[in-house]
Each structure stands twice: as C-alpha cells, then as structure tokens.
Chains A and B, each alone.
Chain A
Amino acid sequence: MKSSRFINILIPLISVFIGLVAGGIIMLMYGYNPIAGFLALWNGAFGDIYFIGETLRQVTPYILTGLAVAFAFRAGLFNIGAEGQVIVGWLAAVWVGIAVDAPIYIHLPLAVLVAAVAGGLYGFIPGILKAKLGVHEVIVTIMLNYIALYSANSIIRDVLTDRADKTDKISPTASLTSEWLQAFTDFSRLHYGIIIALVMAMVMWYIMEKTTLGYEIKAVGFNPHASEYAGMKVQKNIMITMAISGAFAGLGGAMEGLGTFEYMAIQGDFSNLGFDGIAVALLGANKAIGVLFAALLFGGLKVGALNMPTEAGVPSELVDVIIAFIIFFVASSYIIRWMLTRKKKEENK
C-alpha cells in the first residue's frame, strides 16, 4: 500500500525529469544552449509576478479538464470528449453572459452553472450510449468533439452574431475578471476562475473519497463484475460519471469564456485544452491532488515556452516536444508497472 503510493509519486517525477533531459538533448542537437533555454522557460513561467499570474490563468482550465478526464478514468472510462465539452461549456457561458441581464450575484453563478450543465449533458450523451447500447465512449466522444467545434462556430456566426468572427464581450455582471488579481499580478489576465478550479479539485476529492457515489464509481472502474455482484448499477454509474466528467470540462470552458477572453471566437481547430487534460490526468495519476500539480506543470510549460524564443532564441515548439516526451515516459512507465504487477499476480497464484 505504502510502496504503491510511493511509486505513484515517483513515476510521474521520473517521467518529467527524463522528459526535460530529453528536451535538453534535443536543444543541444539543434545547436541551442539547453541551460539558457530552460532558464528562459523558468523565467517565462515563474520569473516575475506577471508571468506567475499568466501561468496560473493557464493552469485554471487545465485543472478542470484534467479533473474531467481523471474522474472518468476512475470509473474505467476514457473521456476523450473533454475538448468538445469545453467548447460547449464555453459557448453556453458566453451565451448566458451576453443574453441575460441580471445582477452579478445571480448572473455570474448562473453563467457558470449553465456551462457546467451544458458540459455535463454533452458528457451524458456518450455515457448513455455506452450504458444502454454498449457503444464505446472513445469513438462517440471523438466524433462529438467535431460536432461541438463546428456547431459552436455556426452558432457564433449565425445565431449570436450577424456573420462575425467572434461574439460580443459578455456583460461585466457575468465576468470572472478581477481588477484586484490583475493589479496584484502586474496586469496579467489572472481571474477568479482559479478559485473555482481549486474548489472543484476539492469536490472531486470529496466525491471520490467520502461519498457512496465515489465508492461505487471506483468499484465499477476497478472491477465491474464484482460491482454488479454487489448490487451496484454499473450502467447508471457510467452515465453519472460521464455527466460529472463533462461538467468539469464544461466549467473549464467557462473559465475561458467568462475569465480569460470574455467572448468566444470562431475556432479553426481545437483549443487542445481538453486533449491536454488527458495528459494532465495521466501525469496526475487520476487523483485530484495530482491533477493540481500536473496542471501547474503544463500551464508553466505552455506559458514559459512563449519566453523561450525571445530570451534564448529557442523555438517554443520545442516545449511541445518536451511535453510529448513527458507524456511518453509517463505512459510507458504505466506499461512497465502494469507488466510488473501482472507478473506479481502470477507469482501469487
């Protein structure tokens, strides 16, 4: 028990370390100075209070999409649809932010809530298809991502605006922006969403560790046969899990729509917030606390990368290579561990 927890922490740390080393080697191969590169990366992420604010802003949606993927993972479900659920949540939040007229203490919570519900419903679709018809959630969520992307574009162009590229700004009563946080961080775009993200991490931890629902979800994820034997409704759990997972991702979209941008623009391609959430969840070992740290790392890498070309002349694409390395080593170490535990199981027979 203790040793497995130790491994849970050790494997991501080693993976990150190897990923960074591999990134350094690549920088060397292309004739860049890796020390200067990493220094620029660090400075760009945590170098001064402005960059810290920007990093935390980027971390906010990563936490939520990471939670979304991690939550589904615990029930043995692979929610690749966080991307689409982000878009749906973003759109819903902005829509409410523009269309509704209400005082801030109603308007803002309403916009946030509607985003969560929209994301939740969008996650419920693959959930019900899996539970009732046995359609694999990976296939459904991949396709729903495209449906969300292009439907949102169409709605922005033809419903919310008159063929414009982006919506109006949301009304200030629905905004998560905080003058205080902005001033404190030297006018970064940091907003109150970070608090929502942290609270949601606690919510996930609470559901998983303290409630009968979490007990059922984890049981279904570990062993659906035993769960059925124990009288749990496996199908119902699949649907609930996907809805909650979608709600987390929908909130991630609201962070962008109500906080960072305060509008929604037509997107030519995915924002990758949802896909990066898969990596965050994987690196965070599908635990709420792990997701927080993994999101911080990914947010830091993403924001810090922007500083690498200017300060060290290293192309920011290299950061994507480093991230890819980290994911690769996390994923492959999972395989190694899987083989180790399997071998152990056979010995026990």
Chain B
Amino acid sequence: MNDFVIEMLGIRKEFPGVVANDNITLQVKKGEIHALLGENGAGKSTLMNVLFGLYQAEKGTIKIKGEKVDISNPNIANDLGIGMVHQHFMLVEPFTVTQNIILGSEPTHIAGKIDLKKAEKEVQDLSNQYGLQVDAKAKIQDISVGMQQRVEILKMLYRGADVLILDEPTAVLTPQEINELIEIMKSLVNEDKSIILITHKLKEIMQICDRCTVIRKGTGIGTVDVNQTTVDELAALMVGRNVNFKTEKTIATPQETVLEVQDLHVNDTRKVPIVKGMNFNVRKNEIVGIAGVDGNGQTELIEAIAGLRKIESGSILLNDKRIDHLSPRKITEKGVAHIPQDRQKLGLVLNYSVSENAVLQTYYQRPFSRLKMLQKDKIDDYAKRIAEEYDVRTPSIQTEARALSGGNQQKLIIGREVDRSPDLLIAGQPTRGLDVGAIEFIHQKLVEERDAGRGVLLLSFELDEIFNVSDRILVVFDGEIVADVNPAETNEQELGLLMAGQVTEKGGTVREE
C-alpha cells in the first residue's frame, strides 16, 4: 500500500476560542527525517501533543503503519513506538545515564531489586549500535548538554521507539555538537528509524531533512521535498511573505566609549567565580556581539552591568563614570536599557496589561505619575504609541501580557527599552525562540539603534545572529574573553572552536589544561 509510518490526516484541534490546528495533514515515511516547520504559536506543539496522546483531536484520523489508532494517552503513544525528546531535558541530575534511561521501566530481579548490571549492558550496547558514544555509568550532572541530549534519545530507543520527535534539538548546542547530532540522526534513519524534527531553523532543514511539512497559523500549508526547495521558499511558506535574512547595514563607525568593563569578577548564585577578569568596551555606533556557549559567564556579566548582580572586583564604567555599585534603578536612569534574556521572568509582569508593562521602569516619572498617582490615560497613550511603532500585535493595550505571543512580548520589551533613548542597549538573546519574521524586525531595530548613536551589547548563543548583526565579536569561554574578532575576518568554524576553548585567538594552538 504505502510506506508511511505515521499519518495524521485532517487533524483539527480547538481550544476555547481558538482553533490551534485546522485540517493539518502530516505523513512521515519510514526512514526519513521529516521537518515540522512553523512560526511560534503556529500549532506545532499542539499537533505533536495530539500525536503523543496528550490532547484529543476533534476531527481527523491518526494511522500508525497504515492502521487507524486511537491515542488517548501518552502510554499508548509509547507502546506504538513514538518517542519525544523535549527541548528541556527531563533527566535526574544525580542519577547515572542508565538509571535515567530505565526510570519507569526498570528491569528487576525476582525479589524486585533492580538489575542494574543488565540494564547498563543493554544501554551501552544500544549506544554503540547507533554511535551515540554515551557512557552508561556516567552521572548526568557530569556530562555535557550535548551528551544529555543523546541520553534522551537513547531513552526513547531503549523504550523501543521507531519514531522520534525532536523538539528544537539544536537550540542548546554548539556548532560542533550540532554536527555530531546530525551524524547521529543520519545513523538513526539508516537503522530504519523515522525522525520528526520540530524547528524553525531553515538551514538545518536544508541540511538534513528529506521532507518538510509547513504549518502557518494553525493551518497545514503543505509538504515539500527539501531537495526541490530553497531557504527563501521555505521561509515564505512559513511566514506567508518574503523574508529578508541578511540584515541591511552599513559598516560601523564607532565613536567614543560608552561602556568600559575592567578586570571584572562576578560570582554565580552558588558563590562560585564565573566571570573571571573580563576587559572590554562598547563604543557609540557599534554593536558588540558576545558569542559563547551558555554557562560561561555571559548571563552573570549582563546582570552585573544592569545592577542585578553584585560584582566581586573590577569596575564597570558608563560614559566614564562608575556604575558598578548603583541600584538597578539608578543604572536605568543613567542611560542603560536592558532586554533581558528571560523575558517572562525578568522582562514582563505577565499578569499586567500591555499598557502597565510599557512603563515598568518609568511608571514613577512624569508624565506617567503625578504626586504618586498613576496617570492612566498618559500611560495608555504611551503604550498605544509603543505598540504601533514596534508592531506589538495585541487585541488591546489592556490585554494581559501573558496572552501575547513570544514575539509580541519581545517587541513590547524592545519598544519600551529602546524608546528611552539609552546610551547603552544590552540585548540578551533578543530573538530566542522567535520566528524569522520577528527576528528580522528585531535585528533591524538593533541596527537602527546603532545608527542612532547608541552602543549595543548583544548576547546570543546563535552564531548566525552574532554574525548577522555584530560589528565586533567577543568570544567568551570559562569566564574570560578569549577573542575579540571582526566578523568579516572569521568564520563559524573558527568561532565554534574558540567557543569550545579549543584554540586561542592567535596562532590557533590547542589549549591543553
């Protein structure tokens, strides 16, 4: 008949007031890597949750290997050989790889004692079979993020999954780790497994996927053969219009120094040194990108500049004046704007309306308040203007920020921060989790800010973003800045090695420690 392992035909899923999925058809062949592409909130997760038995579809049928099935809960999905690797790993840190993998289906001796030896051997064999290079006896907390992800994959294989759903698997990986993952995915399909890759990174789709199903605003747009399409075409399918990938910008003409960081030392929350003597500056009319793998001190660096984290030693100067011991409010007033990495935790009060969030740092200033009384109409006027200028799509400015999509939440924050005309704009992962349309808009805004005479400090884990926007790249490794490079004079490969601490800036020698 046909060789589809999974067929989701005409799926429709409604939530009160919203149609999350409407007439979506997804057919995955045996042994293929099938991309599921769509903007945030397009309905990818809903569709996968229907497949996984977390939601029941109102309409449509699901067939596994040609047979109609009724997946009413995740256990049934497991039994049918469907496994899902979530974006956020679900691993017990102090446990070993094997303990994590067998969790919930432990092989036991007769008396109920876990047969760890047997499990370890099975896990190791499985790992070797697919070239995952996982040490079955290592503890999760001791292994890298890339390795943890492979443990998640191994867990699914151990449970007999034939179809693996990978949710944005490359978001947390370095370029080298991404290449390794791609090799693993290839070896998996060689063993007749099928993979559904949820992503909005078009480059990856072009690189490894066989076919690609596009969802836009809850509706299935169609499925295309990857080798008969282009990045531009995919992007247009996903967003519904043509997308400009390369941010238009002129060559920077940096002026005087705005931010100067000197021999900065900062501890992390556990009081362990994490920023270990950083020196750098940011000048007017310049975007400085900080590249590096997550956890090398970037987050703490930004928090220290914004006044949210105490510094241990060194100094931070804004326009030649020290700001390192000022309160966050004073620093804001002196001309620092901060787009935080975690927009829902730091950037917004989700229960507050768009309007209330628009004045989160300025509510106490005129004209938004007089004699400690909020001037609601002034605040609303301001919020309306921000929403218009920064394309924040919201039903009303009285809508709770929680109800906005990630992209619109981010545009609200960016509008609020940029509109204060700061001297220094700190942007922490400003496009994390956003779709190409929003990314394009935000990159454009960052460049506009640069051209308006601001210093921009951009922290990103996406090398594409770093290359696309930055005028100068600082590479951070282990709490230090290991390289200060011009994006025109380097490439992803070199940067990846620098980020992994493999080479130093000059000479390319391997650093053995």
Binding site for B on A (CB under 8 A): 1, 4, 210-213, 215, 218-219, 222-223, 225-233, 345, 347-349
Contact = CB atoms under 8 A, between A and B. Distances in A.
Contacts of B398: 1
Contacts of B346: 225-226, 229
Contact of A229 (B20, B328, B369, B374): B328
Contact of A212 (B340, B373, B403): B373
Interface string B147-187: 00000000000000000000000000000000000000000
A4 B17 CA distance: 14
Contacts of B330: 231
Nearest to A223: B349
A229 B417 CA distance: 12
Contacts of B369: 212
Contacts, number: 73
A212 B349 contact: no
Nearest to A220: B349
Contacts of B347: 226, 229
Contact of A219 (B340, B360, B403): B360
B349 A222 contact: yes
Contacts of A227: 349
A211 B372 contact: yes
B363 A215 contact: yes
Given A211-B372, A231-B329, A347-B46, A222 B351 contact: yes
21 contacts: A1-B353, A1-B403, A210-B373, A211-B373, A219-B349, A222-B349, A223-B349, A225-B345, A225-B346, A226-B347, A227-B349, A228-B328, A229-B328, A229-B338, A229-B347, A230-B328, A231-B328, A231-B329, A231-B330, A347-B20, A347-B49
Interface of B: 15, 20, 41, 45-46, 49, 306, 308, 327-330, 332, 338, 340, 345-353, 356, 360-361, 363-364, 369, 372-374, 398-400, 402-403
A48 to B, nearest CB: 44
Contacts of B327: 231, 233
A319 B474 CA distance: 70
Contacts of B41: 348
Given A212-B369, A215-B374, 15 more contacts: A4-B400, A211-B373, A211-B374, A212-B373, A213-B372, A222-B351, A223-B348, A223-B351, A226-B346, A226-B348, A227-B349, A230-B360, A230-B361, A231-B332, A232-B329
Which 9 residue pairs of A and B lie closest in terms of their CB atoms, listed nearest first?
A231-B329, A230-B360, A229-B346, A222-B351, A231-B328, A223-B349, A230-B361, A222-B349, A212-B369
Contacts of A222: 349-352
A231 B349 CA distance: 13
A226 B328 contact: no
Contacts of A1: 353, 398-400, 403
Nearest to B46: A347
A233 to B, nearest CB: 8
Contacts of B372: 211-213
A223 B400 CA distance: 14
Contacts of B20: 347
Contacts of A345: 402
Nearest to A230: B360
Given A226-B347, A347-B46, A212 B364 contact: yes
Given A212-B372, A347-B45, A219 B352 contact: yes
Given A211-B374, A347-B15, A349-B45, A231 B361 contact: yes
A72 B192 CA distance: 60
B350 A223 contact: yes
Contacts of B306: 229
A226 B345 contact: yes
B356 A215 contact: yes
Contacts of A225: 345-346
A229 B308 contact: yes
A131 B45 CA distance: 41
A226 B349 contact: yes
A348 B350 CA distance: 13
Contacts of A210: 373-374
Contacts of B352: 218-219, 222
Nearest to A219: B349
A210 B369 CA distance: 10
A322 B364 CA distance: 46
A312 to B, nearest CB: 43
A340 to B, nearest CB: 11
Contacts of A233: 327
Nearest to B343: A226
Contacts of B349: 218-219, 222-223, 226-227
Which of B327, B346, B369 has the most chain A CB atoms closer than 10 A to its own CB? Answer: B346
